[in-house]
Amino acid sequence: MEIEFDPDKDAANIAKHGISLARAADFELLAFVPDDRFGEPRFRLYGLIDGEFYCLAGTDRNLKVRVISLRRAHAKEFRRHVN
């Protein structure tokens, strides 16, 4: 998956969630969930990084995944969307 992200968002994500948006390149996709709460089409991806469950919020920009947020996923989310 080809990704892109804003460097300022990356710094904020590291401070808040302890992981760089660049790690989205290592994401092993398990589930895709559309997210229509915003003005542009967005989605949430659930998957693995280093064997741990993560949630990636993103949008499609010029055939790349524009990463908005990356954080550890809650067990409840995985039960709902992956299992």
CATH number, position 73: 3.10.450.530
Q: What is the pLDDT of residue 38?
A: 81
Q: What is the pLDDT of residue 37?
A: 86
Contacting residues for 49 by C-beta, under 8 A, at least 6 apart: 19, 23, 26, 27, 28
- Does pLDDT of 1 surpass 80? no
Q: Residue 23: give the domain boundaries.
A: 3-81
Give 17-57 pLDDT, tens digit per residue.
999 999 999 999 999 999 888 888 899 999 999 999 999 99
Name which of 35, 36, 37, 57 is nearest 46 in CA terms: 57
Q: Between β-strands 52-61 and 28-35, what pairing exists: parallel, antiparallel or unpaired?
A: unpaired
Tokens in use for 42? 């967005």
Domain count of the fold of the chain: 1
Centre a 10 Å sphere on the Cβ of residue 80 and count the other Cβ atoms it contains: 12
Q: Which of 38-42, 60-64, 67-71 has the highest mean pLDDT?
A: 67-71
